Structure 1
């Protein structure tokens, strides 16, 4: 199901899990060094929803649009897993609704206020004031990338 969309993020809800979901999973570990023998592997099915989602009712997917978070490893077209039940804290990556638009930024919270910090020096840090229409919509828990 597709959720509302803004210029920077498109939201999706996780689909209902059926009894035959998931891709094949080889429970051997994949060597990033020397090749390992494949004779002792077991083949199961794995659902990424089961691996990446703790709270199905409060979790959404959104696709990144833009370059403001490339320093945090969030690239254009990456798929974010966002949990609305996770408490916002300093230094978490958050999806925020700011003055009519969704944005994803790193939270900076201290005694002087709240800032939304991009992870790209070409973008400005945003200081949140009482004049802003601002909501922390959810916290990014995982990122799915295409290679």
Structure 2
């Protein structure tokens, strides 16, 4: 896996293999009463096949910071980012802003673009012509440790 470090995010290029996947039990796991163990069937499951739609345009990045906790993105979570998706209002995007990567919710109001944090301790950022700004990709999934 290729790793690139930016100031606020660490990017990873996924490695794909025809033989990837781990055992997957297709019966569901009961959060109530246990079900008999003999009722399950075992298959192989690759999370890349589920989480990645556009292999050549998809990257992973690790979150650094607390500005998006209200959207469920916590420090050290792993983001799945698709660079082939079109940015749109209310999407969560990884953006390059004035020399730094950041993850924020896109807010488009008329011709104005804002980067909206999901934590009241952080202020929205209005994008102006003076900013060096690129929407780098759209967040499609988040992977958390428990």
TM bucket normalised to smaller: over 0.9
C-alpha contact (below 8 Å) 2:16/2:48 kept by paired residues: no
Task: Give 1:1-147 correspondences, 5 Å limit.
Answer: 1-19=1-19, 21-147=20-146
Task: Tell me the CA shift for residue 63 of structure 1.
Answer: 0.3
Matches of 2:105 and 2:3 in 1, distance apart?
23
C-alpha contact (below 8 Å) 2:96/2:136 kept by paired residues: yes
- The SS at the match of 1:24 is strand
Matches of 2:69 and 2:10 in 1, distance apart?
18
What is the TM-score of this pair, normalised by structure 2?
A: 0.95
Which runs of 5 or more structure 2 residues have no equivalent in the other structure? none
Aligned-CA RMSD value: 1.1
Matches of 1:100 and 1:41 in 2, distance apart?
51
Which runs of 5 or more structure 1 residues have no equivalent in the other structure? none
Matches of 2:6 and 2:70 in 1, distance apart?
22
Matches of 1:99 and 1:24 in 2, distance apart?
44
| More displaced stretch, 110-119 vs 60-69 | 110-119
What is the TM-score of this pair, normalised by structure 1?
A: 0.95
Matches of 2:46 and 2:78 in 1, distance apart?
16
Number of equivalent positions: 146
Task: Tell me the CA shift for residue 7 of structure 1.
Answer: 1.7
